[in-house]
Structures are given as C-alpha cells and as structure tokens.
Amino acid sequence: MKVDDVISYHELVAAEKANLQKGMNFGIGKSHSVVLMSVRQGAPYADAINPKTGMLTYEGHDVNRTKECPDPKLVDQPLATPRGSWTENGKFFRAAMDYKGGLRKKPELVKVYEKIARGIWCYKGFFELEDAAIVPDGNRKVFKFYLKPVEKKPIGRIVELPHNRLIPTYVKVEVWKRDGGKCVVCESTTNLHYDHEIPFSRGGSSLTSENVRLLCAKHNLSKSDKIMILIPWLLPAISSLNSHGRN
Ligand SMILES: [Zn+2]
C-alpha cells in the first residue's frame, strides 16, 4: 500500500490482518502499531495534524460506555483497566516515555489511517511516536500522543518525510467530493489513490485541490509509464519519484 491510497474499511482490516475496531492498536503488526484517526466534523476525538510541521497530535481514547459510566466524556481517559492491565492509552504512553527516557532506542513505529468519508479511509503512512502527555481537557484529563511523519525505506530504514508532501485532509475531502469517489479517467471506484497532477518532486503542491485528483491504480501506473517514455533523460528523477510512492 502506498501513502494516499484510498481504501474501504474491509480493505483496511485485510491489510492489517486484524479487526481494528478500537482505533488504537499497540504492537498489532510485526514491528509497528496502528491508529485510526479523523479530523472530520463530529469526530469522537480531537486529532490534529499541524499543517506546518506535519506532526500528528493523536488523542487517547475514553473508557467504554457502561451502565455505571453512561458518559465516558466526563471521565479521565484511563491508563490501566480496573483489573490492572494497560489500556491502549497506557501501552502507547509507556512506549513514548520509554523512548524519551532512553529505555528504548527507537520510537514506536505507527501506521496511520485517516477517515475521509463514511466507510472510506486513506493510508497516511508511517509515523514515529516521539512523545506523549496527559493534559487537562475541561473537567477531565486526556492523553495526547505526538507523532512525526516518516518514510520506511526497504530494509526497514526510517527517514524523515518532507512534511509538505502530505495532502491535508480538507484537500482530500474536497477532491473526494469533486471527483465523486471515482477515477477521473475511467470512473473506477476501486484501488483509488490521491495523485498529484504535477508531482511533488517537480514542484506540484499538496495544498490545493487543483493539483490533486483521484486515479485508479491502472491510471496512476500508466501516468508514470508515460513519464518514463517521454523523458528518459529524467530517469534519475523518476526513480526517486517512484521511491517516494509516485506522488
Ligand atoms: Zn482509472
């Protein structure tokens, strides 16, 4: 899967080979965790991406709604369960503190998926869990997790990602509506990807919907083939473009 691929919830579950109902899933992959985020109106948690730095601030999760606790939004987000085991908040928090305190060398690697519309998700790539905090939020305390966008290279090498490559959510939502959830070439509704019309590596912007469109896998691929044929002397640039996930 490439960054900015559009997938259904079922594809998301198939890709991670797990039921991700919880939203926060510590250590669910061989070497990574998975979180689901949303900055849509009415989203249950206050997730946010800083447009300047690309840093993700991810809010922890509430206690479950029960008879004894009819309104989880009035209760501190829990670090541990009543039985004393870590909640997902606790697992992510401990990983962040261990990294900050030098108890672990590498930060926890986290795959992030973002909700774009009902049943429609977008893969946002890998982030590193750098820090966490417990902060007051009105009458209660919530967890905040701070994650930095990174790129996972072959052989597992992690490099910093140029943050302005990330397409902001408002652009994605706008493009999704404008293109009607279909490939702009063939109207396919499967294997869709957010494509930069002018690639980011050649100066195209992520920040305006005019330079972003929906393409199916086939047309996304044929676009890069075309570039290969037209400008062979740009091969070095193209190969770096491809290694960036054909942005
Ligand atoms: Zn197409």
Three-state SS string over the chain comes to CCCCEEEEHHHHHHHHCCCCCCCEECCCCCCCEEEEECCCCCCCCCCEECCCCCCEEEECCCCCCCCCCCCHHHCCCCCECCCCCECHHHHHHHHHHHHHCCCCCCCEEEEEEEEEECCEEEEEEEEEEEEEEEEEECCEEEEEEEEEEEEECHHHCEEECCHHHCCCHHHHHHHHHHCCCCCCCCCCCCCEEEEECCCHHHCCCCCCHHHEEEEEHHHHHHHHHHHHHHCHHHHHHHHHHHHCCCC
Q: Ligand 1 mean position to 212 CA, how many Å?
A: 15
Q: Ligand 1 mean position to 204 CA, how many Å?
A: 21
Q: Ligand 1 mean position to 37 CA, how many Å?
A: 27
Tens-level pLDDT at each residue, the chain (247 residues): 888 889 988 888 888 888 787 899 999 988 899 999 998 888 889 999 887 788 999 999 999 899 988 999 999 999 999 899 999 999 999 999 999 999 999 999 999 999 988 889 999 999 999 999 999 998 899 999 999 999 877 777 777 766 556 788 888 889 999 999 999 999 999 889 998 888 777 777 778 899 899 999 899 887 765 544 444 455 555 455 555 544 4
pLDDT of residue 185: 94
Q: Ligand 1 mean position to 203 CA, how many Å?
A: 24
pLDDT of residue 164: 59
Q: Ligand 1 mean position to 120 CA, how many Å?
A: 18
Q: Ligand 1 mean position to 243 CA, how many Å?
A: 22
pLDDT of residue 167: 83
Q: Ligand 1 mean position to 194 CA, how many Å?
A: 12
Q: Ligand 1 mean position to 126 CA, how many Å?
A: 26
Per-residue pLDDT reduced to its tens digit, 140-170 = 999 999 999 998 777 777 777 665 567 888 8
pLDDT of residue 56: 94
pLDDT of residue 246: 46
pLDDT of residue 21: 76
pLDDT of residue 165: 65
pLDDT of residue 231: 47
pTM score? 0.79
